[in-house]
Chain A
Amino acid sequence: MGRYILRRLLIAIPILFAITLIVFSIQQLSPGDPLNAYLPPDFAVPEAQKEAMRKQLGLDKPFLTRYGYWLKEAVQGNLGTSIRTHETVVHAISSRVGATLLLMGTALFVGTLLGVIFGVVAAVRQYSILDGFLTLFAFMGISTPVYLTGLLALYVFALRLGWFPAGGYSTPGQPFSVVDRIEHLILPAAIIAVNYIAQTMRYTRSAMLEVLGQDYVRTARAKGLNDRIVIARHAFRNALLPIVTLIGASIPALIGGAIFIESIFGWPGVGRLLLSGVEARDYPIIIGITFVLAIVTLVANLATDVVYAFVDPRIRLD
């Protein structure tokens, strides 16, 4: 296992090269001039001056030269500066990653926990009214777009009922308090969590259904074991594989954030930074975020694969 992990870490290096190179080329193919985001739209700038600005920003250099330059700085921990705001990319991401981590971490934790519980219950009581209700909830959760539920929740819970603040990260003009932060967190986190609940629940349910029909579960029951112990120790442990996979695949989102929910709720996270970056063709921001996401994805998938061996000891990876 140790050698396998080492090999995966070594392979990660050329893969990171490939990813950044591909994102660089995609940026090259995308339409639009970053200068347009840089300059006010109703402001006539002479072509000569634009040329000078391109030179100053390094946009006149050939593609590979720019990539090489970026790479040289990136390995030293400098991901460049935003074309739009002049903020360094490292600072832009690190100042927002905390907010995203809080939002996505809460949503993923609550979503996975409830999703697993609901999934197990739905499988144990297959075709019961409760199962039908949970299934209905899951499909409504999956089929309703978050920008719709987000706006509805804002309207109902923030504007009509006034239970929660209408977006934002904290109440302006007030010193930081945990209660205030949680009040701002609940609505957006709940909406993202619904999607995680729905997804986790469906996969848990089907995995549990398969396991519950196995001979060893029947044997455990025949021995007269308590039903709870059969479900928790004999069945659930063998249904963990898809759940672990889903959690592992969700880890990059902890850093990448949720574009729409962050935008609707004015949550100052990485998802919103990426969206504004794409809109403004702010290449350094887009490439910087992708680079960080790539590292997190590679590590998360490696960790998932290592966990497989514990969840199902039959699995051999080398």
Chain B
Amino acid sequence: MIDQATDPNESQMVQPVYRAPADDSLLGAKDVVRSPAREVLRRFMHHRLAMTGLIVFLIIALMAIFAPVVTQYDPNQIDLRARGQSPSMEHWLGTDRTGRDIFTRTVYAGRVSLLVGVLAVLISVAIAIILGACAGFFGGKTDMIIMRFTDVMMTFPPVVIFVAVAAAAGPGLVNTILVIGLLFWMIPCRLVRAKVLSVRETEYITAAEAVGVPTRRIVALHAIPNVLDVIIVYVTLGIAQAILPQAGLIPGVVSSRRTSKLGQYAQRRAEYQHARI
């Protein structure tokens, strides 16, 4: 006990040293109160892993955007003299069975995959938030109608819909984004609704209602921000998952065969390895 009392750190804690704010403001309030968005930004910038992740993502995104600058090859150029090569200085990841440069194809595939992943998740998350928040907040008939529609959508095996859409609307990038976006909002919607069902019963919502805040404002500014944790997890996992079903659900059916996507690429590689085994 005596040791602890003489500990210099301990004594400092007992007697807080008053420090005047560095700038001229008397209260120093600017240093303490931040808007939630600024607080997120500040914490993100101070988190080393988060910044590393951001930099890696930016590198991949920039490589995809500036694909023609990054690589000298054409992703669809067949070179029969350079078939099935191992990685070398000319072909960083080697070549495939028709002599196309695999590094180039991966970079170009990243373009399509990033676009599909991000846009499809944006579509699905928008639907999930709007439908989930309305169903959870208003309850009753609204909930019944929205959630039974969600039930119906959850029922269809995606494979069946992929084939049908490819047949009816034709393949292509826009259709791929739309189909994935419109097929994967049901689970986040149920997650958002569950959370809103619970949030709706909290005191701050009752308080907001009591002082006459318009319902639309309550939903948008009080209910939805409190379900953001579920939405953030869905978005981070969803982008990865949205890239994969392009390949997972019958490659070449939905999007045209000429554009290569990372997912398709992975599957074709996998099949090739399988054949060799």
Q: Pick out which of these stretches binds chain B: A107-115, A142-150, A220-228.
A: A142-150
Whether B147 pairs with A316 at a CB distance below 8 angstroms is no
Contact call A294/B168, Cβ cutoff below 8 A: no
Interface residue A312 (Cβ < 8 Å from any Cβ of B): yes
Interface size class of B (residues with CB under 8 A): 35 or more
Q: Are A148 and B270 in contact (CB under 8 A)?
A: yes
B157-A289 in contact (CB<8A):
yes
A60 interfacial contact with B, CB 8 Å: no
**Residue A317 CB within 8 A of the other chain:** yes
Residues 2-38 of chain A, each 1 if its beta carbon lies under 8 Å from chain B, else 0: 0000010001000100110011001101110000000
Segment from A69-77, A92-100, A171-179, A197-205 that makes contact with B: A197-205
Interchain CA distance A35-B274 in the complex, whole Å: 31
- Contact partner of B191 among A142, A159, A198, A242, CB < 8 A? A242
A314 touches B229 (CB 8 A): no
Query: Are the CB atoms of B168 and A29 closer together than 8 Å?
Result: yes
Q: Could you count the A-B residue pairs with CB atoms below 8 Å apart for me: how many are there?
A: 148
> Is B237 a contact partner of A259 (Cβ separation < 8 A)?
no
Chain A residues touching B, range: 35 or more
Find out whether the CB atom of B233 lies under 8 angstroms from the CB atom of A202. yes
- Does A145 contact B152, Cβ atoms closer than 8 Å? no
Q: Is A256 an interface residue (CB 8 A)?
A: yes
A293 touching B144 in the complex, CB below 8 Å, given contacts A30-B164, A198-B237, A241-B194: no
Tell me the chain A residues, 232-256 only, with Cβ under 8 Å from chain B.
241-242, 244-246, 248-249, 252, 256
Contact B144 A19 (CB under 8 A): no
Within 8 A of B (CB), among A253-296: 256, 259-260, 274-275, 278, 286, 289-290, 293-294
Query: Would you call B240 and A143 a contact (CB within 8 A)?
Result: yes
Q: Give 26 A-B contacts (CB < 8 Å), ordered by A residue.
A: A15-B151, A19-B156, A22-B152, A23-B156, A26-B160, A29-B164, A30-B167, A143-B240, A143-B244, A145-B263, A147-B248, A148-B266, A154-B277, A206-B232, A210-B229, A242-B191, A242-B194, A244-B194, A245-B191, A246-B187, A290-B160, A293-B155, A297-B154, A301-B150, A301-B154, A317-B143
